[in-house]
């Protein structure tokens, strides 16, 4: 049993900037030290390290830098944005099972500094399922998300501005967050008039490319009581993916609106022994604004095809709304650390230290991208 046996006791992050001037393995070390200091735990006590694949360094490198006595558990989680919560899922599992006692989970990402994207040099020979998409114009994520977003607008007759409303709501939160990459408030008109990137997605409905790193410390619930900060109890963890799933499009499933998030949500709520109505605040993966709508539906906050109207009705816009969502600004405005920064905000809400604090928040849900093989956690007091 994992429920309520572990907790996040420390958090740390770098500055969020276009070009940070340090390597990913260096910033991973910095945020790990910061998270451990926040928890009041000495670096040498770390015996578990978990991370998202696709960054420089790794468990052995970070352990050496931290000066840990020994490592008892480590792993990398694959899946890009769907892996955002994966390191915490693995850390909680390892601590609860006794594999390790103090675990670091982290993500370091230098995308702004590197410049360009992996698909910028797509070759003429493409293998796997992508061979059935790339030749027809679905080469990169924004094109793929746009393809699905157009279908969503058409199939559910969703309001045209529903995606823009997500961007506006999250920028409103970010305007009060001193760490946010973008802080200037925007309007629906600003979003709709910004440059079209891939119809129907405009520039302000897409996340930035930036550098930065985040880390959390996971330990047992028993030890958490003696740490420096109020613990965020890990009430549930989950991963999930349906059969015959093609990331981001789902085009080969009979029901294209059954996402990996549906599977993760079912598992998560069962473990945490809660329902969507119990959740006080949500951090929902958002590299593009439509993904928030799909996640809200996957995790049961509104019915299939209803999220567009749900956000247009103001249900996510403020700490007083029925479902405050991405209260630090999310990937669209705070920073794009492949969703890991959402975990830190989930913890702050439980601690009561968010710059957009939800009153009496007791249950905080953090979900990675619902549209790819995914992961999620529920935090509580």
Q: Which residues are catalytic?
A: 285, 336
Terminal CA-to-CA distance of the chain, rounded, Å? 18
3-state SS of the chain is CCCCCEEEEEEEECCCECCCCCCHHHHHHHHHHHHHHHHCCCHHHCCEEEEECCCCCCHHHHHHHHCCCCCCEEEEECCHHHHCCHHHHHHHHHHHHCCCCEEEEEEEEECCCCCCCHHHHCCCCCCHHHHHCHHHCCCCHHHHHHHHHHHHHHHHCCCCCHHHHHHHHHHHHHCCCCCCCCCCCCCHHHHHHCCEEECCEEHHHECCCCEEEEEEEEEEHHHHCCCCCCCEEEEEEEEECCCCCCCCCCCCCCCCCCCHHHHHHHHHHHHHCCCHHHCCEEEECCCEHHHHHHHHHHCCCCCCCCHHHHHHCCCCCCCCCCCCECCCCHHHHCCCCCCHHHHHHHHHHHHCCCCCCCCCCCEEEEECCCCCCEEEEEEEC
Find out whether 186 and 172 touch, Cβ atoms under 8 Å.
no
**Spatial separation of the C-alpha atoms in residues 273 and 209, rounded to whole Å:** 37
Find out whether 132 and 147 touch, Cβ atoms under 8 Å.
no
- Please say whether the dihedral angle defined by the alpha carbons of residues 312, 313, 314 and 315, taken in this order, is positive or negative: negative
């Amino acid at each position: 049993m994992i429920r309520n046996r572990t907790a996040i006791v420390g958090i740390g992050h770098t500055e969020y900037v276009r070009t940070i001037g340090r390597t990913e393995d260096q910033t991973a070390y910095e945020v790990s030290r910061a998270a451990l200091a926040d928890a009041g735990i000495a670096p040498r006590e770390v015996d578990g390290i978990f991370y998202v694949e696709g960054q420089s360094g790794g468990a052995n490198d970070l352990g050496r830098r931290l000066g840990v006595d020994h490592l008892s558990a480590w792993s990398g989680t694959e899946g890009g944005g769907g892996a955002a919560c994966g390191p915490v899922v693995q850390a909680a599992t390892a601590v609860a099972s006794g594999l390790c006692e103090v675990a670091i989970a982290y993500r370091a990402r230098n995308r702004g500094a590197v410049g360009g994207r992996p698909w910028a040099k797509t070759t003429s020979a493409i293998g796997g399922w992508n061979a059935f998409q790339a030749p027809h114009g679905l080469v990169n994520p924004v094109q793929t998300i746009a393809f699905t977003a157009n279908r969503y607008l058409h199939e559910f007759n969703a309001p045209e501005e529903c995606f823009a409303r997500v961007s506006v709501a999250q920028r409103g939160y970010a305007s009060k967050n001193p760490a946010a990459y973008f802080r200037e408030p925007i309007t629906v008109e600003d979003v709709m008039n910004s440059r079209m990137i891939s119809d129907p997605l405009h520039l302000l409905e897409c996340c930035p490319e930036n550098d930065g790193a985040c880390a959390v410390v996971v330990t047992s619930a028993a030890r958490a009581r003696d740490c420096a900060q109020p613990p965020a109890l890990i009430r549930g963890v989950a991963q999930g993916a349906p059969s015959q799933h093609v990331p981001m499009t789902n085009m080969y499933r009979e029901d294209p609106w059954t996402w990996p998030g549906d599977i993760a949500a079912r598992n998560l709520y069962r473990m945490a022994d809660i329902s969507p109505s119990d959740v006080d605040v949500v951090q929902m993966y958002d590299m593009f604004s439509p993904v928030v709508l799909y996640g809200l539906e996957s995790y049961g906050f509104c019915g299939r095809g209803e999220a567009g109207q749900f956000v247009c009705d103001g249900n996510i816009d403020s700490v007083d709304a029925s479902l405050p969502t991405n209260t630090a600004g999310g990937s669209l405005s705070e920073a794009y650390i492949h969703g890991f920064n959402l975990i830190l905000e989930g913890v702050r809400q439980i601690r009561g230290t968010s710059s957009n604090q939800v009153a009496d928040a007791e249950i905080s849900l953090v979900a990675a991208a619902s549209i790819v093989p995914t992961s999620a956690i529920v935090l509580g007091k």
